[in-house]
Amino acid sequence: MLGQFAADSSASVQSVCKRLAHTGEAACRSTSAEMVIFIWKNLLQTTKERILQQRRMSVYSQAHGYEEELIKKKLQQFAGGSINLTKEDNGIGILTLNNPKSMNAFTGTMMLELQEKVTELENWKDGKGLIIYGAGNTFCSGSDLNVVKAMSKFQDGMNMCMFMQNTLTRLMRLPLISVALVQGKAIGGGAELTTACDFRLMTPGSEIRFVHKLMGLVPGWGGGARLVRIVGSRAALQLLSGATRVDTERALHLGLSEETLSSSDEAGALEEARAWLSQYTEGPVSVIRAAKEVVAGGRELPLEAALRTEKDIFGTLWGGPANLQALARSLKHK
């Protein structure tokens, strides 16, 4: 996917130049310096549009037998709970999994609301960071088991799997630095959701557990593939085949968690998570978002495609407002 984007970028240069060559507009009568600026402005816009387009591309489409409208109608039948999003002036979004009576298990409508919130975050141009946490001092206990039982037909299960993989892949690719704040339990699909974030922070006594084996399953929301990339294949195989309870200490040891916070209560833990995240979101929004895009490319693409993507993202910043302001300041970083 993203590799195709990198290959296309050079095509975008030709398309920009072709467009310019044929235009009879002012650009052709202007000085060469203005012409260069006009070309680069076009190129930057084209690059940004391509990066945006690639980030939103789904893993599954009809070509894979995925029926989005069908699964959305089915999920609508299983109501309960909510997914709440607040977008703060400092560029930090707070996404709350809100179904505490069922340990924040995902009902059908919560899965639909998660997709809506990811789309809203994709369109949030001032966003720099995101914290996902669960209401009632616990993270998430995966799919609502009533939904699981009601969706036991093969095609329903596959459509739900592809729906959640599409949604969590887009979440993972957001140009925001994302943190899963794990309090209490992150179980099954809840454990998988933590792997779609760039970082995990845990509170004392909290636990991440891939229980799928105990249900005669393996992860279906993409958590298996992402876990391998986070902790490595050996540890991932142990956690899946052992349905292992991962406490804060083991999570730190595995690199699954960045830090064990000191607060156990919701407000305190959220404040600590904000403080932790703010050390990485300090600075111009364009630069923070670009840093995440470069890492996302490096994480997913073959080397040369990742290098081309990095070059394109670099090009959106070089000589831009943040770069020029920095150059106007002292560049000695003490």
SS3 of residue 9 by DSSP: helix
> To the nearest whole angstrom, how small is the minimum distance from the Cβ of residue 214 to ligand LP2KCY5N?
7
Token pair for 216: 């005669």
User: Which of 102, 323 has the CB closer to ligand LP2KCY5N?
Assistant: 102
User: Which of 56, 229 has the CB closer to ligand LP2KCY5N?
Assistant: 229
> To the nearest whole angstrom, how small is the minimum distance from the Cβ of residue 221 to ligand LP2KCY5N?
5
H-run or E-run covering 35: helix 32-56
User: Which of 121, 240 has the CB closer to ligand LP2KCY5N?
Assistant: 240
CA distances to 225, 262, 290, 295, 318 from 303, in Å: 19, 39, 18, 12, 22
Q: Which of 283, 207, 235 is nearest to 292 (CA)?
A: 283
> To the nearest whole angstrom, how small is the minimum distance from the Cβ of residue 127 to ligand LP2KCY5N?
27
Backbone angles phi, psi at 125, to 5 degrees: -70, -20
> To the nearest whole angstrom, how small is the minimum distance from the Cβ of residue 74 to ligand LP2KCY5N?
13
User: Which of 16, 148 has the CB closer to ligand LP2KCY5N?
Assistant: 148
User: Which of 143, 248 has the CB closer to ligand LP2KCY5N?
Assistant: 143
What gap in Å lies between CA 240 and CA 244, rounded to an integer?
Answer: 7
User: Which of 108, 189 has the CB closer to ligand LP2KCY5N?
Assistant: 189
> To the nearest whole angstrom, how small is the minimum distance from the Cβ of residue 150 to ligand LP2KCY5N?
11
> To the nearest whole angstrom, how small is the minimum distance from the Cβ of residue 322 to ligand LP2KCY5N?
41
Residue 165's contacts (CB-CB under 8 Å, 6 or more residues apart) are: 59, 60, 220, 221, 222
Torsion over CA of 71, 76, 81 and 86, rounded to 10 degrees? 80
CB neighbours of residue 157 within 10 Å: 14
User: Which of 92, 103 has the CB closer to ligand LP2KCY5N?
Assistant: 103
Q: Is 152 exposed, middle or buried (0-12, 13-18, 19+ CB in 10 A)?
A: exposed
CB neighbours of residue 62 within 10 Å: 8
User: Which of 19, 250 has the CB closer to ligand LP2KCY5N?
Assistant: 250
User: Which of 209, 292 has the CB closer to ligand LP2KCY5N?
Assistant: 209
The distance between the two most distant Cα atoms of the chain, rounded to a whole number of Å, is 71
> To the nearest whole angstrom, how small is the minimum distance from the Cβ of residue 219 to ligand LP2KCY5N?
6
List of residues contacting ligand LP2KCY5N (CB under 6 A): 102-103, 105, 141-146, 148, 185, 187-189, 211-212, 215, 217, 219-221
What gap in Å lies between CA 323 and CA 168, rounded to an integer?
Answer: 33
> To the nearest whole angstrom, how small is the minimum distance from the Cβ of residue 156 to ligand LP2KCY5N?
11
Backbone angles phi, psi at 235, to 5 degrees: -65, -40
> To the nearest whole angstrom, how small is the minimum distance from the Cβ of residue 99 to ligand LP2KCY5N?
9
Q: Is 282 exposed, middle or buried (0-12, 13-18, 19+ CB in 10 A)?
A: exposed
Tell me which residue has its CB nearest to ligand LP2KCY5N: 142
